[in-house]
Amino acid sequence: MDDIAILGVGMHPWGKWGRNFVECGEKAARDALADAEVGWDEIQFVSGANSVRCGYPGYVSASTFANALGFTGCQLASSYAACASGATALSIARAQILSGVCEVALVVGAESTPKGFFAPNAGERHEDPDWLRFHLVGATNPTYFALYARRRMELYGDTSEDFAAVKVKNSRHGVFNPNARYTKEYDVDDIANSPMVADPLRLLEICATSDGGAALVVSSLEWAASRGVDNPVRVSGISTVSPTYPNSVIELPYLASDSWAAVGDETMTFKDNIAARAYEEASVSPEDLDFAEVYDLSSAYELDWYEHIGLCERGDAAKLLRAGDTALGGRIPVNPSGGLGAFGEAVPAQAIAQVCEMVWQLRGEAGHRQVEGAKVGLSINHGMFGHGSSVICTR
């Protein structure tokens, strides 16, 4: 797969601002344009990552953001893929660029979220698994994170202290990130003293819902060169894969896993496949990574990703953590940005924010959270119902 260039990145800081999401997206977009030294009137295509929590303007995000910046007649696409929306929006921009439909594009996602648990859409919908899981089981998002965490404890011997150590690590990284919402350094006692939400996970270990915005200016390598940018950060792989049947893990928001009675076995999982596709497109392997940005929806969830992206064998993630390998200064830092533990989640902006962090790292502009000599980074997450999301950036 051919690469595209990332010319500029921008973010609106994460927080609980009580502000229209459009303001967050517009600020991020203007910063990305300024960073790229590209004029808004030069942008030929806007790819918006939608929000389903901000009314109609959220469903037509590309138009909403283009309107905020001033309508210029550029082409638009708005897409939604839950937490994978940002990667999906980037993949659409890449397709437009590599097919020659446009040369330079803006990718934007932003959201303002209510406090507390995410809730399903209104109405009584007996065939919507998202409705059924709340009504019949009381299964919130943390329910699923906790099921995975408990399984790690029983299968691999991970402990609550391991999970807390993930949060401690990410909070130390987040201290150095001006866009993070939480910049306090937590210790294990802070976490042990926070209320239990879904056993074994406590409040400080579960991703909050945040407001924020993130944007990228991307172009063909030729267009970048025409602007004198000969060594840009490149998007070298994007994975937006679906699960492969049968996926033995119960994924959000379903009531049941796939059945592996007819074919397959219990070791087949969706999250392994997401990374595999990104590696394949980028022609890199886990050993090539200098750092990774993974979706720590919970502290324990970060450990699952170490295994899914091939940093270690299944069951060995806590060993990496305990050895300090995944902290800044370690062998393969994970979430140098501070991750969701420091940000909370602004759904359509989050996967784009992961790419922003990769760009700062690969340019050597990440300040105190810089991974020395970083050349290859991977971001990964997934959108509920089964949207894969992974991006590999290289320089």
| Alpha carbon distance 46, 60 (integer Å) | 11
Fill in the per-residue mask, 319 to 358: x = in contact with other proteins (CB under 8 A), - = not in contact: ----------------------------------------
Residues numbered 232-251 forming contacts with other proteins, rule: CB under 8 A: 243, 245-250
262 touches other proteins by CB under 8 A: yes
Q: Which range touches other proteins (CB under 8 A), out of 12-20, 111-119, 338-346, 360-368? A: 111-119
| Alpha carbon distance 266, 269 (integer Å) | 8
CA 380 vs. chain centroid, Å, equals: 6
Q: Which range touches other proteins (CB under 8 A), out of 27-35, 117-125, 177-185, 277-285? A: 117-125
| Minimum distance from residue 201 beta carbon to other proteins (Å) | 8
Total number of residues that touch other proteins (CB under 8 A): 52
197 touches other proteins by CB under 8 A: yes
254 touches other proteins by CB under 8 A: yes
The torsion angle over the Cα atoms of residues 71, 73, 77 and 82, rounded to 10 degrees, is -10
Q: Which range touches other proteins (CB under 8 A), out of 22-30, 177-185, 197-205, 307-315? A: 197-205
- Give 110: exposed, middle or buried? Use CB within 10 Å, 0-12, 13-18, 19+: buried
Show the tokens assigned to 376: 């290859």
Cβ-based nearer residue to other proteins, 197 or 371: 197
Phi-psi region of 386 (alpha: psi -120 to 50; beta: other; left: phi over 0): left
Q: C-alpha angle 261/266/269, rounded to 5°?
A: 115
Yes or no: say if 192 and 352 are a contact pair by the CB < 8 Å rule: no
266 touches other proteins by CB under 8 A: yes
| Alpha carbon distance 289, 52 (integer Å) | 34
182 touches other proteins by CB under 8 A: no
Cβ-based nearer residue to other proteins, 243 or 377: 243
Q: Which residue has the tokens 């517009």?
A: 26
| Alpha carbon distance 203, 8 (integer Å) | 35
Fill in the per-residue mask, 123 to 142: x = in contact with other proteins (CB under 8 A), - = not in contact: -x-xx-x-xxxxxxxxxx--
Cβ-based nearer residue to other proteins, 139 or 318: 139
Residues numbered 356-395 forming contacts with other proteins, rule: CB under 8 A: none
Among 198, 356, 366, 393, binds other proteins (CB under 8 A): 198
143 touches other proteins by CB under 8 A: yes
At 91 the three-state DSSP class reads helix
Yes or no: say if 382 and 252 are a contact pair by the CB < 8 Å rule: no
CA 77 vs. chain centroid, Å, equals: 20
Residues numbered 151-180 forming contacts with other proteins, rule: CB under 8 A: 151, 154-155
Show the tokens assigned to 214: 């993130």
230 touches other proteins by CB under 8 A: no
Residues that bind other proteins (CB under 8 A): 116-117, 119-120, 124, 126-127, 129, 131-140, 143, 146-151, 154-155, 195-201, 243, 245-250, 254-263, 266
